[in-house]
C-alpha cells in the first residue's frame, strides 16, 4: 500500500514549538525590564529568525528522509508489480500454449476418427506425433501388441534427418519397462538414470544412441494396445509437459486403433467365410468393379477361374456333413496356398463353388495355373473317418476383355466353362 507524505507540522512537533515560543515571549518581557527597548527588539527578532530557520531546517531534513523512505516503498511496490506482470505473462503464455495444444489435439482426433484400418490409424498417429515432437534427430516408433503372441510389433517408424535402422523391432528395455509398469516413461539422460542397468543401456546404445527417451502406452482400461516411443541422441530433449501431451495423444490413438480393429473384425465377418477363411461373393464383386476399369485403362488381361467340387453330395451322404466341411476347408487351404499373391482374390462363391480372380493374367497363363491346381487337388489325400479319399474339381476359365466386357458377363462365361468341364466327365479344365 502506498504511503501518504507526512505533514511538516505534525502533532508531535506542536508542543515543543509552543514551549519555545512561551519561553521566548517570557524572555522578551524580562529583557524589556532591564534593557533598552530597541536592543531587546533586535535581539528578539534575530532569535525568532534563528529559531524559525533551525526549525524548518530540521523539518526539511525529516521531510527529505520521509521522501526517501517513500521512494524506497514505491520502488519495492514497483518491483512487486513487475513480478506480478511477469507471472501474468507466463500464465497467459501457458494458456495460449494450452489452447494451441487443444487445437492440435482436435486436429489429431479428427484425422484418427476417419481411420477404418489399423495400419492407416498407425501411420496417421506416427505422422502426427513426429510433426509435434520431431526435433532434430528424433526417432518416432509406434508399436502395437500382437493379440495372439502378446509381443510388441513395430507398425510405423519416422525420422527427419537420417534413415531409420531399427534393430529392436519388438521393443527395447525401455519399452518393456512401460509394458510391465503400465505407465509412461520419461528419461532426460539415459546415462544417469538409476532405474536401468547401465550395462544393458550401453549394449542398447550400440544400435542407436538414445540419451533422451519418452514413451506413452496406448491403453484402454488396463489393456495395452501398443506404445508411442520417441528417442533422441541428445539429453534433455523432452520435458514432463511433453510427456503429458504425448499421453493424451496416446489415449486418442488407443481409442482410434481399438475402433479400427473392431471395424476390421466386422468387415472380416461380413467379407470372409467363417469355415474356409476365404472372401465371400460380396467382396469379389466390389473388387471386380474397381479392377476391371483399371485393367482396361492399362490394356491388360485378367482371368477368372470358377471351381466346383465333383460329387460333393456323396461326401455328405457317406461321411456326414462334418466330413463335407472338412473337404471344403481342405480345398480352401489349397487355394490360399497356391494363389497367395498380391492382387489375387480367392473367394467362396457359394456352397461348393469357389472363384479365383487373377489380375494381369492372360488366358494361356490361367490355363496353366488351373491345370496345376486341378492336378494338385486330385493328388491330395483327405482322411474322413479314418478313410483316405481323394477329391476332384471341375474348373472353368473366362478372360477379360476378350470373353466379356462387364463383371456379370465374365462370371457367367466362367460358370458356363465350368459346367462344360462337368459335362465332359469332370476333373478337367475348360475355357470359354
Give pLDDT tens digits for 249-301: 898 888 888 888 887 777 766 678 888 888 888 888 888 988 898 888 888 89
Output 28 or 372, whichever has higher pLDDT: 372
User: What gap in Å lies between CA 258 and CA 264, rounded to an integer?
Assistant: 10
Please tell me the CATH code under which domain 279-431 is placed: 3.30.70.270
User: Does 401 sit behind a cis peptide bond, omega within 30 degrees of 0 on the bond before it?
Assistant: yes
Which distant-in-sequence residues (6+ apart) come within 8 Å of 85 by Cβ? none
Complete edge-to-edge strand list for the sheet that includes strand 185-187: 152-159, 139-145, 223-232, 212-220, 185-187
Residue 384 has pLDDT above 60, yes or no: yes
3-state secondary structure of 429: strand
pTM of the model: 0.51
Grid coordinates in use for 76?
A: 519495492
Q: How many C-beta atoms surround the C-beta of residue 239 within 10 A? A: 13
Identify whether 203 is a catalytic site residue. Answer: no
Helical residues (DSSP H) of 114-237, grouped into ranges: 118-133, 173-181, 198-205
pLDDT band at 201 (very low <50, low <70, confident <90, very high): confident
Lowest mean pLDDT among 291-305, 379-393, 401-415: 379-393
Which three three-digit cell numbers place residue 216?
A: 506413452
Q: Which of 169-173, 289-293, 427-431 has the highest mean pLDDT?
A: 427-431
Tell me which of 352, 364, 371, 409 is the catalytic residue: 352
| CATH architecture, domain 118-270 | 2-Layer Sandwich (3.30)
* Under 8 Å between Cβ of 217 and 265: no
Task: Grade residue 113 by pLDDT with cuts at 50, 70 and 90.
Answer: confident
- pLDDT over 50 (residue 8): no
The more confidently predicted of residues 317 and 285 is: 285
Q: What is the largest CA-CA distance in the chain?
A: 169
pLDDT band, very low/low/confident/very high, at 3 (cuts 50, 70, 90): very low
In degrees to the nearest 10, what's the CA dihedral of 75, 81, 87, 89? -110
Mean pLDDT of 78-102: 71
Q: Pick from 343, 335, 339: which is nearest to 295 by CA?
A: 343
How confident is the model over 23-47, as a mean pLDDT?
A: 59
Amino acid at each position: 500500500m502506498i504511503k501518504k507524505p507526512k505533514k511538516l507540522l505534525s502533532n508531535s512537533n506542536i508542543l515543543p514549538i509552543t514551549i519555545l515560543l512561551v519561553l521566548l515571549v517570557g524572555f522578551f518581557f524580562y529583557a524589556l525590564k532591564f534593557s533598552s527597548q530597541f536592543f531587546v527588539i533586535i535581539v528578539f527578532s534575530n532569535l525568532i529568525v534563528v529559531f524559525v530557520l533551525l526549525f524548518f531546517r530540521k523539518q526539511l531534513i525529516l521531510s527529505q528522509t520521509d521522501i526517501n523512505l517513500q521512494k524506497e516503498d514505491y520502488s519495492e511496490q514497483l518491483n512487486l508489480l513487475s513480478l506480478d506482470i511477469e507471472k501474468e505473462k507466463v500464465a497467459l503464455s501457458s494458456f495460449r500454449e494450452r489452447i494451441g495444444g487443444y487445437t492440435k489435439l482436435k486436429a489429431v482426433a479428427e484425422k484418427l476418427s476417419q481411420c477404418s484400418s489399423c495400419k492407416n490409424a498407425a501411420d496417421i498417429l506416427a505422422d502426427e506425433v513426429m510433426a509435434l515432437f520431431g526435433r532434430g534427430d528424433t526417432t518416432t516408433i509406434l508399436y502395437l501388441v500382437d493379440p495372439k503372441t502378446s509381443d510388441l510389433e513395430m507398425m510405423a517408424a519416422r525420422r527427419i534427418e537420417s534413415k531409420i535402422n531399427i534393430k529392436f523391432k519388438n521393443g527395447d528395455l525401455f519399452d518393456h519397462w512401460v509394458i510391465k509398469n503400465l505407465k509412461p516413461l520419461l528419461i532426460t539422460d539415459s546415462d544417469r538414470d538409476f532405474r536401468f542397468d547401465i550395462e544393458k543401456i550401453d549394449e542398447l546404445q550400440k544400435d542407436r544412441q538414445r540419451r533422451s527417451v519418452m514413451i506413452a502406452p496406448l491403453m484402454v482400461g488396463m489393456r495395452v494396445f501398443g506404445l508411442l516411443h520417441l528417442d533422441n541422441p541428445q539429453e534433455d530433449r523432452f520435458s514432463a509437459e511433453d510427456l503429458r501431451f504425448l499421453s493424451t495423444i496416446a489415449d486418442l490413438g488407443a481409442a482410434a486403433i481399438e475402433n479400427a480393429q473392431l471395424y476390421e473384425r466386422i468387415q472380416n465377418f461380413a467379407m470372409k467365410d467363417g469355415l474356409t477363411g476365404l472372401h465371400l461373393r460380396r467382396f469379389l464383386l466390389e473388387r471386380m468393379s474397381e479392377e476391371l476399369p483399371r485393367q482396361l485403362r492399362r490394356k491388360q488381361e485378367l482371368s477368372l477361374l470358377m471351381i466346383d467340387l465333383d460329387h460333393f453330395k456323396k461326401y455328405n451322404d457317406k461321411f456326414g456333413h462334418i466330413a463335407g466341411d472338412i473337404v471344403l476347408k481342405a480345398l480352401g487351404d489349397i487355394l490360399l496356398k497356391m494363389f497367395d499373391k498380391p492382387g489375387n482374390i480367392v473367394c467362396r462363391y457359394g456352397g461348393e463353388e469357389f472363384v479365383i480372380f487373377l489380375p494381369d493374367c492372360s488366358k494361356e497363363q490361367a490355363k496353366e495355373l488351373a491345370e496345376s491346381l486341378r492336378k494338385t487337388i486330385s493328388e491330395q489325400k483327405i482322411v474322413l473317418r479314418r478313410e483316405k479319399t481323394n477329391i476332384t474339381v471341375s474348373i472353368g476359365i473366362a478372360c477379360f476383355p476378350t470373353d466379356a466386357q462387364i463383371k456379370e458377363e465374365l462370371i457367367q462365361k466362367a460358370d458356363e466353362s465350368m459346367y462344360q468341364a462337368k459335362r465332359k466327365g469332370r476333373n478337367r479344365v475348360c475355357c470359354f
